Structure 1
Amino acid sequence: MLGGAARRPRLRFDGWIAGLGTSSGTRIVLGHWQRSPFGAFSDVMLERADGERLLLAPTQETADFISSTYLFDSVRVVPVDVRVTDGTWTVTAGPLDLRFTTGWRRFLGLVLRAVPGVLARRPVWSTLIDRPARLLLPGVRTRGSAGGGRREWYGARDLLPIRAVSAAFGSTDLGTMAPVEPPVRFGFGSTPPDPALTRVTTTVALPPG
């Protein structure tokens, strides 16, 4: 299987993924990509308490790629702005206003920071740590099959806990911070159940041809 994937064109995304829940039942996943085939951009995936999955993406190109890789019930192309100041992230994505603050990294974050970046970016490393990740962080997967015949690997390089969250969708307050439960259903895996910000290299292998 890995041998077949090695012959596929591969795309790499370097940046951060924030996963958090709210007391209203809405779970939010922010992707903040500093380097990607589409340049620097950010996107937001939401799953509501009733199970509806929504993608907020900044361009039609990124919306098409992401919605071909993951599953959504609706997709909106809207401006997505992310600002980071002293550990506080402020996100505006169309109707979504999100603000969260990170805390001090714990033991697992220190371990991930110690992994050489060259190694963490390699799909073989993501394959090796998939089983330990499943045991340590329920719902998390570091490799799997994505939409459109694609395969995907996540190489985590840092992990910070999220300490505080405020969020609103339009005029609706989404409530206080809560675990990412139940796990989100955009792809083959979820984010850690405890709200967290993960530095990650994501590799996507496209189908041959």
Structure 2
Amino acid sequence: MRRARPPVRLRFDGWIAGIGTTSGTRLVLGHWARSPFGSFGDVMVERPDGHRLLLAPTRRTADFIAGTYVFDEARVAPVRVRVTGDYWTVTAGPLLDLRFTVGRRGPAGLLLRAVPGVLAGSPGWTRVTDLPARLLLGARTRGTAGGGRQEWYGAHDLRRITAATAVLEGRDLGALTPVRPPVRFGFGSTPRRPCLVRVTTTVSTPRPPNPGTPRVRGRAR
């Protein structure tokens, strides 16, 4: 009988921004400088009626993300992120135009920056950070994802988002508000207060039959 092969851990280094709007639509941007898929960005959108939409730049990234989180719809679109100082511009083809401004870091950001980077990004450290994140921010740093996967969020920095505008499929989504109700893509939402988090995300996934070639599944269409 063949012994089960241990899972493989995939690391994503970058930023996550969580934004609420007065229309009731909430958006979560992932901007990844380093990942198994190279540098890329994706946007998760939950509409007021609960419809969950994924915007990802390639079929491969869409399949992987849709296999880790839960969506009602996934679309492939060229997600582009431009950062100029504290000002971020995000576009996803003709579907989305998102702009936001990042403010100063508060006490939480200062505490996170004081933790050595290697420790802050390790899955084991999330045993320490998960409960404070739940109580203070309304977010989680560890949990079970889709497709038999596990996931850990190691935060290195946190800065508030002070202003945002978003147009989705030609509709202005309104002014910046807290991320409320929480988004329902996975085991946890982003912090209630709109913010930008510098993060190392680790995903443990069953090892594919062909070593070194991640097999991704999902409901993207």
TM (norm. structure 1) is 0.95
SS, match of residue 157 in structure 1? strand
**Per-residue displacement from partner, 1:16-61 (whole Å, max 9, x unpaired)?**
0000100000000000000000000000000000000000000000
CA distance in 2, matches of 1:127, 1:203: 14
Q: Structure 1, unaligned stretches of length 5 or more?
A: 1-6
Instruction: Give the 3-state SS of the residue equivalent to 2:125 in structure 1.
Output: helix
Aligned pairs for 1:178-197 within 5 A? 178-197=177-196
Work out the CA distance in 1 between the residues paired with 2:122 and 2:109. Answer: 19
CA distance in 2, matches of 1:133, 1:191: 10
TM-score by length of 2: 0.90
**1:167–1:173: 8 Å Cα contact kept in structure 2?**
yes
Residue type of the alignment partner of 1:106: G
Aligned partners of 1:207 and 1:8: how far apart in 2?
Answer: 4
Alignment of 1:95-134 (within 5 A): 95-134=95-134
Percentage of matched positions with identical amino acids: 67
Contact 1:46 / 1:55 at 8 angstroms: preserved in 2? Answer: yes
How far did 1:133 drift? 1.2
Aligned partner of 1:18: which letter? Answer: A
Match of residue 3 from structure 1: none
Computed over aligned residues only, the root mean square deviation of the Cα atoms, in angstroms, reads 1.1
Matched with 2:217 is none
Query: Which structure would you say has the larger Rg?
Result: 2
- For the pair 1:14 / 2:17, whether they are aligned, the reply is no
Q: Which amino acid aligns with 1:57?
A: A
**2:171 is aligned with 1:165:** no
Count of equivalent residues? 203
Where in structure 2 are there 5+ consecutive unaligned residues?
1-5, 209-221
Give how far 1:170 is off. Answer: 2.0
Which one-letter code corresponds to 2:112 in the other structure?
L
Query: Residues 127 and 153 of structure 1 are in contact (CA less than 8 Å); yes or no, is this contact kept in structure 2?
Result: no
